[in-house]
Amino acid sequence: MIGSYFPKCVAVVALLALSVGALDTFIAAVCEHTVILPNRTETPVSKEEGLLPMNKNIDVLEKAVKLAAKRGAHIIVTPEDGIYGWVFTRESIYPYLEDIPDPGVNWIPCRDPWRFGNTPGQQRLSCLAKDNSIYVVANTGDTKPCNASDPQCPPDGRYQYTDVVFDSQGKLVARYRKYNLFAPEIQFDFSKDSELVTFDTPFGKFGIFTCFDIFSHDPAVVVVDEFQLTAFSTPQHGTTRCPSSRLFPSIQHGPRPWESIYLLQIPTTPACI
């Protein structure tokens, strides 16, 4: 396994915050780190072998989550592909995927990890959120079976998607499927329809989209207009569109330059337009 400095290792999951909430401001943390990549192979590894690099990357994220929570962050956005990397074929990524259920099932993986099969990645992310009382946005793979009755079902009989959000109690509160895949992302499927995914917090309503989505009208512009969202952060740059946000100095939490977090203090009032 190797570490990579490829720019995709930075946080590229985009969030949007609605200007309502019980707090005048909230603090959002953006994490970036050097992703530990599995050995490159076109032959699928076992689930157990796939879990090794996943756990190593989550170990790094755990340090960032703890530090962000200690500094008062209410929510942390972790990197796209930050848990298992991106150098995959459709077949070779399969051991890294888990069944991510609809958030309406009211599930806390940290307390009930086997409710939807073997979900060690979701369990760890849920426990990070629960144990540190912080919302965690993560990019991790989902797989859903399909069959010939679905004309769009891939030949291997499954769809493969990304993105989850856990609340500060560790409950799964959002599941998003990236709509605009970048050309090399052959390991994932395009969602049949663009999803407008939101989740509520004590400090406002959030919408979610991922990386390349920001260059397209749907869902990026649509979700902003539909829910009248007034601020958003583009974590890969450590900035926010809201001019009255306060950007704290970055905090290095590892030995490498790419292991750091940024804290953003973002108003929840209409002044942030």
Q: Is the pLDDT of residue 135 over 90?
A: yes
Q: Is the pLDDT of residue 269 over 60?
A: no
Helices and strands in the chain: count of H runs, count of E runs? 3, 15
pLDDT digit string, tens, across residues 13-41:
445 555 445 567 788 888 878 888 888 87
Name the region of 170 (left: φ>0; alpha: ψ -120 to 50; beta: rest): left
pLDDT digit string, tens, across residues 191-214:
777 678 888 888 888 888 777 677
Angle at 214 between CA 210 and CA 217, to 5 degrees: 120
Superfamily of domain 28-265: Carbon-nitrogen hydrolase (3.60.110.10)
Are 69 and 135 in contact, with CB atoms under 8 Å apart?
A: no
Angle at 99 between CA 96 and CA 207, to 5 degrees: 100
* Predicted pLDDT at 256: 55
* Predicted pLDDT at 199: 87
Could you tell me the pLDDT band of residue 184, with boundaries at 50, 70 and 90? Answer: low
Burial 17-50 (b: 16+ CB within 10 A, else e): bbbebeeebbbbbbbbbbbbbbeeeeebbeeeeb
Contacts of 172 (CB under 8 A, 6+ apart): 100, 101, 103, 105, 107, 108, 109, 122, 126, 164, 165, 166
pLDDT digit string, tens, across residues 52-88:
999 999 999 999 999 999 989 999 988 888 888 887 8
Give the integer Cα–Cα distance in Å for 273 and 229. 9
Rounded mean pLDDT, 79-101: 86
pLDDT digit string, tens, across residues 164-181:
889 999 999 998 877 667
* Predicted pLDDT at 16: 53
Residues with a catalytic annotation lie at 80, 178, 211
Angle at 219 between CA 250 and CA 217, to 5 degrees: 95
pLDDT digit string, tens, across residues 225-254:
777 655 444 333 233 334 344 444 444 455
Higher confidence at residue 260 or residue 123? 123
Domains of the chain, residue spans: 28-265
Higher confidence at residue 139 or residue 135? 135
- Average confidence score pLDDT of the chain: 76
Could you tell me the pLDDT band of residue 183, with boundaries at 50, 70 and 90? Answer: low
Cis peptide upstream of residue 219 (ω within 30 degrees of 0) = yes
